[in-house]
Amino acid sequence: MRSVTAGQVTRSSVHPLTGGTQRRLLHTEDGVVIDALYEPGSGSFQEPAIVIAHGFTGDLERPHVRRVAGVLGRHAPVVTFSFRGHGASGGRSTVGDREVLDLAAAVRWARGLGHTRVATVGFSMGGSVVLRHAALYGDGAGAGAGGDGRTDADARTDAVVAVSAPARWYYRGTAPMRRLHWLVTRPMGRAVGRLGLRTRIHHRDWNPIPLSPVEAVPLIAPAPLLIVHGDRDGYFPLDHPRSLAEAAGGAAELWVEPGMGHAEHAADEALLARIGEWATAALGCEEGDASLPATAEGDASVPATAEA
């Protein structure tokens, strides 16, 4: 993949926010239109922002995603968006590959709105995306397999939370993952995804195979990393989060949550509140830090009335 250049995104003159929700259509490096929503939140911290990456078949308007945004919004302003092939976004899902470009556009938008510190919080597929995004756009990006490191500083993250994320690709060790592989790889499965789950899935196989989450983790430091996983996750057993934590070489924090299942649906309000507290602390926030920068550059967005 190429490094990002300034001309590869559409920019508009959005000024730093002092309050108010905004809906935008963001443009990714490869030209996909992404539906995104900014909410200033109700917390005392306004300089940092949290960008939420939903799981497969989710979108920014799904009730479970809105619930996550509502809780995290008590700690900092929040950006939610729909991955390609999901909801009102354009394109087709590549199930975690090109989705790093979607997340990069959302982070870039948050910074364009004046937020100098950004944490990414991803669930399931979104968890794998935040890990790969942090590696590809972070300080260790140049060491990535295949030279995939990127140079767009506005798209980088300052802290990462991966919830219910896989460690490796093509895992079929559980019944839910076998069903998911059928959904993604078979024409009938993709039809079910499109008609029943409102998820448009790309028919092409990965080529090349992207950097796996466990390969990405060593490249994330010095950004703080939190890995969260339920001990009753029906998709990915505990060897996945433990492999991710081990790959971090002591640079990650691992929370194994008793009784928790998989991703957003299983994350209760108390856990989400702890994640919000961890994210703002990892971004260096202190009580009373409620200011926004005085100036900021334009963002990678167009008004949400544009065609998807």
Output the pLDDT for position 83: 97
Output the pLDDT for position 138: 79
Output the pLDDT for position 141: 53
Unique residue bearing structure tokens 């709105």: 113
Query: How many domains does the chain fold into?
Result: 1
**CATH code at position 73:** 3.40.50.1820
In a domain, 5, yes or no: no
In a domain, 1, yes or no: no
160: enclosing H helix or E strand? strand 159-163
Calculated CA dihedral for residues 17, 31, 29, 60, nearest 10 degrees: 50
* DSSP bridge pairs for 164: none
The residue segments making up the domain with residue 275 are 12-171+211-303
DSSP line for 97-150: STHHHHHHHHHHHHHHTT-SEEEEEEETHHHHHHHHHHHHHSTTGGGSGGG---
In a domain, 198, yes or no: no
Output the pLDDT for position 43: 59
Q: Do residues 3 and 137 make contact, with C-beta atoms less than 8 angstroms apart?
A: no
In a domain, 109, yes or no: yes
Output the pLDDT for position 37: 98
In a domain, 186, yes or no: no
Output the pLDDT for position 299: 39
Output the pLDDT for position 219: 96
In a domain, 104, yes or no: yes
In a domain, 197, yes or no: no
Q: Nearest 5°: phi and psi at 231? A: -80, -5
Q: Nearest 5°: phi and psi at 112? A: -65, -25
Give, for all 308 residues of the chain, the pLDDT tens digit.
Answer: 333 333 333 333 344 544 689 999 999 999 999 999 999 977 555 689 999 999 999 999 999 999 999 999 999 999 999 999 999 999 999 999 999 999 999 999 999 999 999 999 999 999 999 999 999 997 755 433 334 555 588 999 999 999 999 999 999 999 999 999 999 999 999 999 899 888 999 999 899 999 999 999 999 999 999 999 999 999 999 999 999 999 999 999 999 999 999 999 999 999 999 999 999 999 987 544 433 333 333 334 444 433 33
Output the pLDDT for position 153: 86
Reduce the DSSP state of residue 282 to 3 states and report it. Answer: helix
Output the pLDDT for position 20: 87
In a domain, 190, yes or no: no
Q: Do residues 176 and 234 make contact, with C-beta atoms less than 8 angstroms apart?
A: yes
Q: Counting every residue, how long is the chain?
A: 308
